[in-house]
Amino acid sequence: MKTNFSLLFYLKKPKNYENGRVPIYLRITVNGQRAETTSGRECEPSLWNSIAGRFKGTKEEIKSLNAYLDNLQSQVYEAHRQLNDTQSVVTAETLKNKFLGKEEKGKMLIEVFKDHNKKVATLVGSEYAAGTYIRYKTSLKHTEDYLRWQYKVSDIDIQKIDHDFITNYEFYLRSERKCANNSAFKYIKNFKKVVGICLASGWLTKDPFINYKIRIKQVDRTFLNQEEIQAMADKVFSTERLNQVRDIFLFCCFTGLAYADVNKLKSSEIVKGLDGEMWIYTKRKKTDTPSRIPLLPSALNLLNRYTENPVCCNTGKVLPVASNQKMNAYLKEIAGLCGIDKPLTFHIARHTFATTVTLSNGVPIESVSKMLGHTNIKTTQHYAKILDLKVSQDMAMLKNKYAGI
């Protein structure tokens, strides 16, 4: 990629200068950025033509000095040509270093990726969730494995990242790592963020993602229907741990809270709203967006069961939530005991709230989106697409109207 630049020879007077010869400096300017170096020569200010950037006069000594400066200028132009021929990033600093014979070490992909992950790790808890950091760590490992698989190297200059690099990376994720489409999409998306850092920093001049496309496939989200919710609510388990997990899961079915949000939910976040009813006023851990949820009577009854629970009393939390891994393990046991033939995980409670509890009962999608704490209503619309039952209910009146035609 060709880059225009300007070159100027000028006198650089030192501090406290009074009289005498002054060093001649060479200034290179690229896209408004400057880099300077000494020419190795000096000049009396009275003998300097600042407009031409050369010595004044016609004496042989003056001609020789001007020829020396002309030669330096030619060397800079040659350095600029070489950088363009190798498609290197041309900045004032890289051009100066090339002219001076200082070969600048290229930026390495894994080095940049590790630096990015280090910064993410530092901001876990404030800017990022722990799960986000884990995903970037996994993405880094896949990238390192891909470099060994494709190029037999542990790192690579970012200048070598092009369209072919990315398409082969996607192929590697699908073939060698056996990633499904959406998993491959997420890893490529994480990788794209690192490429974006390189572009923003000027280490890459051309975006290798320009002609690359990978689309996420919409998947049908599993949720419980009303009969399955009732079957779970009516079941009395023989162990307290299963009863607790069932109650917490059902609470999220009636509130739409994700695991991370119910796990941190404190009694101080259960407040009386403007309507005089009890609400949840919290922020989503994943996006830090406000989530305001009116509590249904079923949800309030579940909360009241744990007001005297020792864990809740000691922590200020409203429910005794175990680790996500344990909750999911217990839910599979609960599903079997309740005759629910679905791969039950904790996040299905959130899907159930969005579908069976709210949208199927006529709650407007805008209200559902707000309660779920979605930053984009398109995310909520994915739930609406799978509600054939709701579509049938909405069309019932029209069927009657046009029945006689």
| Average pLDDT across the chain, whole number | 87
* Residues 121 and 54 sit within 8 Å (Cβ to Cβ): no
Using CA atoms, how far apart are residues 293 and 258, in angstroms rounded to an integer?
13
Do the domains at 109-200 and 226-396 have one common CATH topology?
Answer: no
Mean pLDDT throughout 186-215? Answer: 90
Residue 286: pLDDT over 80: no
pLDDT at 131: 79
Domain 109-200, CATH number (from 3.40.640, 1.10.150, 1.10.3470, 1.10.10): 1.10.150
CA separation for the pair 154, 69 (Å, rounded): 44
Q: Which one is predicted more confidently, 219 or 322?
A: 322
Over residues 195-205, mean pLDDT: 88
The sign of the CA dihedral 363, 365, 367, 371 is positive
CA 219 to chain CA centroid, Å, is 22
Which of 105-109, 160-164, 219-223 comes out lowest in average pLDDT? Answer: 219-223
As a whole-number percent, the residues of the chain with pLDDT over 90 amount to 57
- CA neighbor of 351 nearest in space, from 375, 380, 321, 389: 380
> What pLDDT does residue 126 have?
79
- Tell me what the mean pLDDT of segment 294-310 comes to: 92
Q: Domain map of the chain by residue range?
A: 6-100, 109-200, 226-396
CA neighbor of 43 nearest in space, from 34, 33, 31, 52: 52
Alpha-carbon gap, residue 125 to 138, rounded angstroms: 19
- Other CB atoms within a 10 A radius of the CB of residue 282 amount to 22
- The rounded percent of the chain whose pLDDT value lies above 70 is 91
**What pLDDT does 65 receive?**
93
Please tell me the predicted confidence (pLDDT) of residue 372: 84
Is pLDDT of 219 > 80? Answer: no
Lowest mean pLDDT among 73-77, 130-134, 151-155, 248-252: 130-134
Note the pLDDT of residue 104.
Answer: 61
For the entire predicted model, the pTM comes to: 0.58
Per-residue pLDDT of 55-90, as tens digits, reads: 999 899 999 999 999 999 999 999 888 888 776 778
> What confidence tens digit (pLDDT) does each residue in 30-60 have?
988 899 999 999 999 999 999 999 999 989 9
| The predicted structure's pLDDT at residue 31 | 86
Look up residue 270 and give its DSSP letter.
E
**Dist CA 77 CA 234 (whole Å):** 83
CA dihedral 12, 17, 22, 25 (to 10 degrees): -10
Q: What is the pLDDT of residues 94-147, one digit of tens each?
A: 889 888 887 666 788 999 999 999 999 999 877 887 778 999 999 999 999 999
What would you report as the CA-atom Rg of the chain, rounded to the nearest whole angstrom?
Answer: 33
* Residue listed under structure tokens 């990633």: 179
The span from the CA of 270 to the CA of 307, in Å, is: 12
Q: What is the mean pLDDT of residues 247-268?
A: 93
Domain 226-396 in CATH: superfamily? Intergrase catalytic core (1.10.443.10)
pLDDT tens digit sequence for 380-404: 777 765 555 556 666 766 777 776 6
**Section 324-343 average pLDDT:** 92
